[in-house]
Amino acid sequence: MDYKLHEIFSNMAEIHPSSELEGRIFQAVAREKDRAVRRKLLVSRLGLGFSMAVFLAAVFVFGDAVWQSEFWNLVSLAFSDMWVVAQNWNEFAYSLMETFPTVSVVAILAPVTVLLFSFSVYLEANHKHKYI
């Protein structure tokens, strides 16, 4: 009896599932993938809404601090007295760095970063959702 292991298992009926069972398994896998994509879409939509709300709040809270800072006065000085600024460019650069409203700009740009990330996740999930 020269039976190979592959031949023995290929002749057994229990190993090959019925086509109905195979279809149900594939449908269950497809449903689970669809649920995961829908969950990702929901989370990305919530992230988009939340980050947009935080961005608008940050603009209203920190926007005046950015526009009212001395940084813009120094920037306008670069255009009005260009020769003086060119002669003292080192001190001028330090003054610009000192007066730059870093905290306010970071508070405004952080929600923008989250907004862009959420939008990227949304586009990716939406693309996957179309082709499932």
In three-state secondary structure terms, 56 is helix
pTM of the model: 0.66
Distance CA 104, CA 117 (A): 21
Which pLDDT tens digit goes with each residue over 14-67? 666 676 777 888 888 889 988 988 899 999 999 999 999 999 999 999 988 888
Query: Is residue 60 assigned to a domain?
Result: yes
Please report how many Cα atoms fall inside a 13 Å half-sphere around the Cα of residue 29, on the Cβ side.
6
Is 114 a domain residue?
yes
Q: What share of the chain is helix, strand, coil (3-state, %, to 5)?
A: 85, 0, 15
**4 in a structural domain:** no
The pLDDT confidence band at residue 104, using thresholds 50, 70 and 90, is very high
In the three-class reduction of DSSP (H, G, I as helix; E, B as strand; rest coil), residue 122 is classed as helix
Q: Which stretch of DSSP H or E encloses residue 63?
A: helix 19-67
**Cα(98)–Cα(45) distance, rounded to whole angstroms?**
38
Rounded to whole angstroms, what are the CA distances from 75 to 70, 84, 129? 9, 13, 48
Decide if 123 is inside a domain: yes
Asked whether residue 122 is assigned to any structural domain, the reply reads yes
Determine, yes or no, domain membership for 8.
Answer: no
pLDDT recorded at residue 30: 86
Angle at 51 (CA atoms; ends 47, 56), nearest 5 degrees: 155
| Residues 101 and 71: beta-carbon distance below 8 Å | yes
Lowest mean pLDDT among 5-9, 51-55, 73-77, 127-131: 5-9
What's the whole-number average pLDDT of the chain? 85
The answer to whether position 3 is within a domain reads no
Return the pLDDT at 90: 93
> What's the DSSP call for residue 114?
H
Q: For residue 52, what are the domain limits?
A: 17-130
Q: How many distinct structural domains can be found in the chain? A: 1
